Structure 1
Amino acid sequence: MSKEYGMIMLKPDGVKIGLLDILLNKAKEERLDLVNIRKFQLTQQQVMDNFTTNINMDEYAKYMSSGKISVLLFYGENAGHKLRLIKFNLRQKYRCNSNDMENLIHNSDPGTEYRKQFNLFFNDLSILKFSSYADMYVHGDSNDDNNFLLLEHLENNSSLSWVGLVFNNFTYVRSVKLFELQYRRLNVLLGFYKSFSCFNRLVGLIGYLPASHKKFPEEFNDLEDYTIDGFISYINELGGVVILDYLQSEHMDLNFIFQMKHKGLTGVHLFDSRRSLEEVEEIEDIVENEVGLRFSGGSSGGVLPGELSIGKYEFETIYKKLVDCSYHRVDK
């Protein structure tokens, strides 16, 4: 399955000028199916707790609570990204942008924002059933049976297309291979975690391997004695990508991210339940706009597996080569 859920909202001024039919027609043109639509009157505190803005938050909360809003949940191929483009196009048509207080429409970005706002507007529904495309940080267990049961649960109870199952070593991957022999809808990428002391901080890295990788544990190298450079090099040799694990915001400075990029880092685990919306925006600006890296996200043990996920667009910016490539190891 390659479809996902996405959420978009008409703000008070968007409702007032009657944008709903126009929005529905735009979504239909993009082959997105309307799943649910609800109307709300937000309180200022709800706005403060569940939204972020580059405008004065007090003024923004007054504006967002000044009238009814309409929240729409859609389903379709690349739904999150398509809704983002619809938002940009409608704002352009009506000559407003993200710097304007009244800018008609908002779409929930994947990851942290989608989870927070889904739980606000659709708290009677299970986010597992209405998730984005991929939870790329599900903790693997030291027991193969538990891993199998977890994957089976996500297969049967979530709308995810991909899961990144992360282990501390290569020992516990047989359950994934057994799962793949029996199921077809949910796809799995293997990730391997290792921490290092680097640049005066403790740094965790996750190396994700290609989906076509058919190796069993005894065929992998032992990661125990690898330095940070050796770990990155080995994951790259296996055809994988390396993601920086969660770090507190004060350690995510521009110079550090640049240094990690030079070591061979592919992206950053950004969308995490421990981050506020303000932190996500701040780090996203550094990672993508200033350094030129990509970002990932997932439940990471902070919430239940599948409750925090990224969209297909975000998934493919980092992991597409792991899905598409047919890996052949190059022996030294």
Structure 2
Amino acid sequence: MNAETSPILRIESVAKSFGPVTAVDGVSIDVRENEFFALLGPSGCGKTTLLRMLAGFETPNAGRILLDGRDISPLPPEKRPLNLMFQSYALFPHMSVRQNLAYGLEMERLEKAEIRRRVDETLSTTDLTQFADRKPDQLSGGQKQRVALARALVKRPKVLLLDEPLGALDKKLREKMQLELKRMQHEAGITFVIVTHDQEEALVMADRMAILKDGRLLQVGTPEAIYERPADRFVANFIGVMNFIDGRVGEGGLFEAEGLRLALADAGPGPATLAIRPENVALGALGEGLAGTIADIAYHGLDRVLHVKTAASPVPLQIRVPVSGTATHQVGDALSLRIDPARCRLFAGAAA
């Protein structure tokens, strides 16, 4: 996708309060055409409220929502060229898959030939043609999920809104459907905006994502950019696994914590937190880095995660090591950890 693509959906300083509670606090986001965009954050961060405002089920107290340059904030849901797919699917149990897809088009009074053409096309895109004559109770969870998606796609909305669409599926099917959703979005050529609390789901599917906390927007970027260059300690901790070492930066950019000294470029003096991913910590020869002792070992198939006690942190640091390596590790073993300053993030100020 071209990074210069103009936004199809523009959220401008949108705010929403429920009594004394501010659910969304001045959020501004641009979503590009044909983009898979994720709204991500912990429970209560405002992502679902924001999605409901996009769909028209909630009205902003301030700000505007523009679709193709037109302010749709005053429009009711049925007048917006968007479609919202709920986690519950809400399929008509007495209708076949084909009838479920056709229902919305029939309500728009389209000609029968056009309805059949669009239904057949959408059944093919969502890999449901063989199930067209089945009722919902004859389908698996993943098939029902695809029918709900197909029913939304067949109306050809400019933007499809998805609220935790995979939440009802088990882990294995959920992982499969993440790739299916991405494929179908690409084939349909429709902009998707998905709400999820699952960071892995957002990393797998999204072209870009927005991280929200307490109704405020913290960061927008590609999954890789947010994972590698989180804007603050909250984002760093929320996306993936991160080790934190609290210390102080002295003159000349020298970061110091108990047992650790690192020269950092462009680091201002004062209290600071060093952040580094487990896969970016290397093992060195004893006595050459941060000394530690293995407190626990977790097996993850392709790798093991070593939980290492050090003087630099009250919490054991996590280090990923490949299972295929020749080294064997035991709880209680002494280690030396090498931390590359270039692979770290530094957050100024004392830990919260």
TM-score by length of 1: 0.26
Structure with greater proportional strand content: 2
Structure label with greater radius of gyration: 2
TM-score, normalised with respect to structure 2? 0.25
